[in-house]
Chain A
Amino acid sequence: MNNLQNRLDQQGTPDFDREGLWQRIERPRKRRRMLWWWLGAGSLLLLLWLGLGKDSTPPALSGFYIGNPEQEQGQRPPAAQVENPEEGILPQEKSSVMGATALQDLQSKRVQKVVPEKAKAIEKAKADRRVEVVAIRPKPGDKERKGLQRTPSPIRTTESKSAPATSGSSTATSLAVQPKKKKNSSCCPRLLSHLYRAAPLQPFHPILLR
């Protein structure tokens, strides 16, 4: 009965608020559009914030020490060796402990390098001293030749600072003093090495490394 349908459809304009009905249809859609717009804007801002955050140091990592990788290359021990004994340490503490451990290793290597050199210097100084003492020691022939002529002992000469020898050769005195001076200077590296070994190395603050 298509004819009846057409007749019923083409009846007069219905009495209803056409504009009000359009607003009722449009309002929820507008609200939904606004919601999507705000969601889009929010997600864009979030992406921008995350993108910018990657360029700079994130705030969560600001307390971590970031060293110069070129300086630390070859000096830092393998990560596994450092991290294993420090299990259970918080990440922030771990980073500082790791920095201190690396510093201690570096300094101990320096000491190991320095100590053999100083030891060599001490040995050399001892050898020189032996040579000089041998040179100063009087020959048996000379004693017999000169009779009771007293030769100044290098040890006495060096020990008697308050009463310097008035007799004897000045050259012998000067030769006898030289090893004492050298001995003093050669003791210094040994002392230093003892100090290095005795005093525990304190971990340096990361800022001091820079």
Chain B
Amino acid sequence: MSHQYTYPTDQSLADACARNDQRAQRLLYDGYVEVLYHTAYRYCFRREQVEDILQITFTKAFAAIGRYDAGKASLKTWLRRICINTTMDVLKQEGKWETQWEEEMEIAVPALPFEQLSVEEILRLIEELPREQRAIFNLYEIEGYTHDEIATLLGINVNSCRVYLSRAKKELRRAIRCNEGV
């Protein structure tokens, strides 16, 4: 990161940003905008919407950076969490998420062979998923959230969350098989 020479720790950079230091704020933006862009893009795959999400994310971050504690999480994790929360708020505004029935849930889903696929291929497969499945797959498989956290974040039932994830995995497996067959 370019800011590491001027601000050796995340806390020093956050403190400078909290003091309304324009240079520090620009350094924070330059250092993390790409990571946050990729994160938000995995959920909505629309450039304009991603830019809107990033604008809200950085505005929230600059407003709340005085409360940042480096002992709890890195600046990257802290910013990513703000970005994901903002993304979920935006996605929830698009429409109500339907509750899924438990009997549809697939109990055991074998691990997906993502190691064999390139980043572009993985993103293309995720993009083809429906909005709810995509969000829950990203949160569970990529960000590492638990079902309880996801259910709280999205305001849905935990079982519905499991069903969404099961369906997403089934869809991805089918898509991978199709790709291998081609």
A interface with B by C-beta (< 8 Å): 1-2, 4-5, 7-9, 11, 13-18, 21-22, 24-25, 28-29
Q: Which residues of B contact A25 (CB under 8 A)?
A: 29, 54-55, 58-59, 62
Chain B interface mostly helix, strand, loop or mixed? helix
A21-B34 contact, Cβ under 8 Å, with A4-B141, A5-B142, A14-B41: no
Least CB distance, B65 to chain A, in whole angstroms: 12
Q: Which residues of A contact B29 (CB under 8 A)?
A: 22, 25
Least CB distance, A7 to chain B, in whole angstroms: 6
Q: Does B38 contact A (CB under 8 A)?
A: yes
Q: Which residues of B contact A24 (CB under 8 A)?
A: 51, 55
Q: Which residues of B contact A15 (CB under 8 A)?
A: 47
Q: In the complex, what distance in Å separates the CA atom of A16 from the CA atom of B37?
A: 9
Q: Which residues of A contact B122 (CB under 8 A)?
A: 4, 7-8
Q: Does B33 contact A (CB under 8 A)?
A: yes
Q: In the complex, what distance in Å separates the CA atom of A149 from the CA atom of B37?
A: 148
Q: Which residues of A contact B33 (CB under 8 A)?
A: 18, 21
A22-B26 contact, Cβ under 8 Å, with A5-B144, A8-B42: yes
Q: In the complex, what distance in Å separates the CA atom of A58 from the CA atom of B51?
A: 56
The tally of residues in B whose CB lies under 8 Å from a CB in A reads 28
Subset of 13 A-B contacts with CB under 8 Å: A1-B141, A1-B142, A4-B114, A8-B42, A8-B119, A9-B38, A11-B123, A18-B33, A22-B26, A25-B54, A25-B59, A25-B62, A29-B59
Contacts A1-B144, A24-B55, A25-B58 aside, 12 further interface pairs with beta carbons under 8 A come to A1-B141, A5-B143, A5-B144, A9-B39, A11-B38, A14-B37, A14-B38, A21-B33, A25-B59, A25-B62, A28-B59, A29-B62
Q: Does B50 contact A (CB under 8 A)?
A: yes
Q: Does B153 contact A (CB under 8 A)?
A: no
Q: In the complex, what distance in Å separates the CA atom of A86 from the CA atom of B42?
A: 83
Least CB distance, B166 to chain A, in whole angstroms: 16
Q: Would B59 and A16 count as touching, CB distance under 8 A? A: no
Q: Would A11 and B26 count as touching, CB distance under 8 A? A: no
Q: In the complex, what distance in Å separates the CA atom of A2 from the CA atom of B30?
A: 23
Q: Does B35 contact A (CB under 8 A)?
A: yes
Q: Which residues of B contact A8 (CB under 8 A)?
A: 38, 42, 119, 122-123, 142
Q: Which residues of A contact B142 (CB under 8 A)?
A: 1, 4-5, 8
Least CB distance, A61 to chain B, in whole angstroms: 44
Q: Which residues of A contact B55 (CB under 8 A)?
A: 21, 24-25
Q: Would A16 and B50 count as touching, CB distance under 8 A? A: yes
With both beta carbons as reference points, the residue of chain B lying nearest to A7 in the complex is identified as B119
A13-B34 contact, Cβ under 8 Å, with A1-B142, A4-B141, A5-B142: yes
Q: In the complex, what distance in Å separates the CA atom of A21 from the CA atom of B26?
A: 12
Can you list the 9 inter-chain pairs with the closest CB atoms, starting with the nearest? Answer: A14-B37, A25-B58, A11-B119, A5-B142, A24-B55, A1-B141, A9-B35, A25-B55, A9-B38
Least CB distance, B28 to chain A, in whole angstroms: 11
Least CB distance, B36 to chain A, in whole angstroms: 10
With both beta carbons as reference points, the residue of chain A lying nearest to B123 in the complex is identified as A8
With both beta carbons as reference points, the residue of chain A lying nearest to B25 in the complex is identified as A26
